[in-house]
């Protein structure tokens, strides 16, 4: 049974819904770019991408602003990702590189292309996370992130295989300590419970133990001949359990033949992954994970039957396809169910969508890439702003990821409560009223004392008729709110802010036109235009409706 495709109208509301769930923030430029395209054409573009990101560069220095005083083996402005740390245990260098990587990732979010790459990268970071505070390894965290970004729309089996052997994951879940004499069940347990099948799917404790034995012998190599190298997985046969591994009836009593040679680790891992993916619970679990991230947390019985089961069948039919995840996502995002009114505006935004979406929508400027030190500083501020709003992208709370994607029955409601609302609200107000600044003691003088802030007049200039207060309110409401607000609320916003209590719409129209024509005008009403827009947008951003997407 195939999932029912969407055949209804594909106008601006449908486009906005699709973009809100596919990219972080649907800007006026994004909407204009896709306007007039068919649903298939938009999906084609959203699913067409490669990993063409440029690596982070060294834009950090020591406390005295000396770039050679910290990580001296990397020139200022060059990337550090291909240079092993020497000495490898220099915690100051590790910390500096980790901050560089985290800022770089924040930069990919705010500078994203019009496709699903960054959203999918975050999906996989939630699904198979590695906590930076636990791993504490800069090169490994960057490599892991790049793996997720490169393979995010590809084949699930290949991705889970590569993640299993990724140094960051080997460190995070103790795979590097898993040896025949003392099998460590940490990764084997999470592989079954969180990464492929789901808790309570039917596997047994004995299956976890057998999986751990399959994975014995893998560790991380970080030096060769006494010289530091970039982390890479390595298999030591003498640390591997050579006996056969027997799994439960849940896996049809599969026996994975043991081995003792140099290929034993790879052979047994592949056999185990084939066994796991042959179990239909894997396809169902993965399709539920995608659904909860892109559509809604709660899955009703009819959704399970009409959406999850057809998607799971498609997942299995494409188990060997290099674009398996793209195929499944295409079916989900072009389904009748996805465009149902009940799933539009039904989710509370995660902090990344909230913060990055607003930065993009309101047009927050950032330094030119040639000012790489300033770019690093401002991107770092973006990273911490997202964290302040409630989501540290580099450090999920635990191996299960963020509770909003798995904790029944609350799901995305967990993003918003009396404790989190103030920080979410303040982050939005910070974007509107605040600035991203660079200090005076930068290494490069032309990167110092720079200030970047949202220009709401320039933002409203992108709208169709900003001089008309009614049209302006309508267009802002369409951008900010997924669900319509009443005409009474619109009238109140216009009266309280754009007209400042006046009765004639010309009060705003004339003032706005006067200010745009001459920002240095001496007209006292026109001089208030930037402040009025800050007050208006600030009020709208604090509305409960702004939390939904």
Q: Give the three-class secondary structure for 3.
A: coil
C-alpha triplet 325, 406, 142: angle, nearest 5°: 55
pLDDT at 515 over 90: yes
Please give the pLDDT value at position 299: 97
Question: Which residues is 79 bridged to in the sheet?
Answer: 57
- In angstroms, the Cα distances linking 114 to 25, 294, 391, 424, 476 are 10, 16, 23, 25, 21
pLDDT at 206 over 90: yes
Per DSSP, the chain holds a count of helices (H) and strands (E) of 25, 6
Between CA 387 and CA 293 the distance in angstroms is: 19
Average pLDDT over every residue of 318-331: 98
How distant is the alpha carbon of residue 403 from its chain centre? 15
**What's the pLDDT tens digit per position in 539-549?**
999 999 999 99
Please give the pLDDT value at position 166: 98
Please give the pLDDT value at position 96: 98
Average pLDDT over every residue of 494-501: 97
**What's the pLDDT tens digit per position in 404-445?**
999 999 999 999 999 999 999 999 999 999 999 999 999 999
Between CA 481 and CA 476 the distance in angstroms is: 8
Q: Where are the domains of the chain?
A: 351-452, 456-547
Helical H segments across 366-481, by residue range = 372-389, 421-433, 456-461, 469-480
**HSE-up of 373 (CA within 13 Å, CB side)?**
21
- In angstroms, the Cα distances linking 455 to 381, 443, 459, 507 are 18, 28, 6, 21
Q: What is the dihedral of CA 38, 42, 43, 49, to 10 degrees?
A: 150
pLDDT at 1 over 90: no
What is the share, in percent, of the chain residues with pLDDT greater than 90? Answer: 100
Q: What is the pTM of this model?
A: 0.96
- Proportion of the chain in helix, strand, coil states, percent, rounded to 5: 55, 5, 40
**Is residue 460 within 8 Å of residue 432, measured between CB atoms?**
no
Of 491, 499, 481, the residue nearest 535 (C-alpha): 499
pLDDT at 215 over 90: yes
Average pLDDT value over all residues in the chain: 97
Between CA 469 and CA 467 the distance in angstroms is: 6
Average pLDDT over every residue of 392-401: 97
pLDDT at 455 over 90: yes
**Is residue 156 within 8 Å of residue 284, measured between CB atoms?**
no
Helical H segments across 306-371, by residue range = 309-317, 324-333, 351-361
**What's the pLDDT tens digit per position in 359-380?**
999 999 999 999 999 999 999 9
For the purposes of burial, counting CB atoms within 10 Å of the CB of 451, is it exposed (0-12), middle (13-18) or buried (19 or more)?
exposed
Please give the pLDDT value at position 407: 96
Instruction: Give the containing element (helix H, strand E) for 233.
Output: strand 227-235
Question: Which residues is 5 bridged to in the sheet?
Answer: 335
pLDDT at 259 over 90: yes
């Amino acid at each position: 049974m195939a999932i029912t495709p969407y055949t209804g109208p594909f106008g601006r509301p449908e486009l906005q819904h699709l973009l809100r769930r596919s990219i972080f923030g649907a800007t006026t430029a994004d909407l204009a770019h896709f306007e007039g395209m068919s649903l298939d054409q938009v999906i084609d573009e959203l699913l067409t991408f490669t990993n063409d990101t440029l690596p982070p560069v060294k834009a950090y220095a020591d406390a005295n602003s000396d770039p050679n005083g910290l990580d001296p083996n990397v020139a200022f402005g060059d990337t550090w990702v291909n240079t092993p740390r020497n000495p490898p245990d220099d915690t100051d260098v590790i910390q500096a590189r980790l901050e560089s990587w985290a800022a770089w990732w924040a930069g990919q979010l705010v500078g994203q292309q019009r496709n699903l790459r960054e959203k999918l990268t975050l999906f996989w970071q939630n699904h198979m996370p590695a906590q930076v505070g636990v791993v504490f390894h800069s090169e490994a965290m960057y490599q892991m992130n790049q793996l997720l970004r490169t393979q995010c729309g590809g084949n699930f089996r290949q991705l889970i295989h590569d993640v299993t052997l990724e140094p960051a994951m080997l460190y995070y879940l103790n795979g590097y300590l898993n040896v025949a004499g003392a099998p460590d069940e940490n990764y084997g347990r999470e592989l079954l419970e969180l990464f492929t099948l789901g808790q309570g799917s039917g596997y047994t404790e004995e299956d976890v133990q057998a999986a751990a034995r399959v994975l014995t012998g893998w560790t991380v190599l970080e030096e060769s001949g006494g010289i530091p190298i970039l982390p890479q997985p390595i298999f030591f046969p003498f640390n591997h359990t050579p006996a056969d591994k027997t799994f439960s009836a849940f896996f049809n009593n599969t026996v994975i033949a043991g081995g003792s040679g140099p290929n034993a680790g790879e052979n047994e891992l592949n056999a185990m992954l084939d066994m796991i993916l042959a179990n239909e619970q894997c396809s169902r679990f993965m399709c539920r994970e995608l659904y909860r991230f892109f559509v809604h947390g709660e899955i009703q019985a009819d959704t399970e039957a009409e959406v999850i089961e057809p998607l799971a069948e498609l997942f299995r039919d494409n188990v060997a396809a290099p674009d398996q995840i793209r195929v499944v996502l295409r079916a989900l995002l072009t389904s009748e169910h996805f465009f149902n009114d009940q799933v539009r505006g039904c989710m509370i935004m995660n902090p990344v969508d909230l913060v990055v979406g607003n930065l993009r929508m309101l047009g927050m400027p950032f330094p030119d890439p040639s000012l790489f030190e300033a770019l690093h500083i401002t991107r770092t501020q973006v990273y911490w702003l997202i964290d302040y709003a409630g989501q540290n992208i580099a450090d999920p709370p635990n191996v299960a990821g963020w509770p909003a994607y798995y904790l029944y029955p609350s799901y995305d409601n967990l993003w918003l409560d009396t404790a989190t609302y103030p920080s979410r609200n303040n982050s939005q107000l910070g974007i509107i009223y605040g600035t991203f600044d660079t200090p005076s003691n930068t290494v490069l003088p032309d990167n110092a004392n720079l200030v970047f802030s949202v220009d709401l007049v320039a933002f409203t200039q992108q709208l169709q008729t900003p001089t008309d207060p009614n049209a302006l309110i309508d267009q802002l409401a369409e951008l900010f709110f997924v669900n319509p607000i009443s005409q009474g609320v619109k009238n109140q916003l216009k009266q309280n802010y754009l007209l400042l209590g006046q009765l004639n719409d010309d009060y705003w129209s004339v003032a706005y036109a006067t200010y745009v024509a001459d920002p240095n005008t001496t007209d006292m009403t026109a001089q208030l235009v930037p402040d009025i827009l800050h007050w208006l947008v600030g009020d709208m951003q604090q509305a409960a409706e702004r939390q939904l997407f």
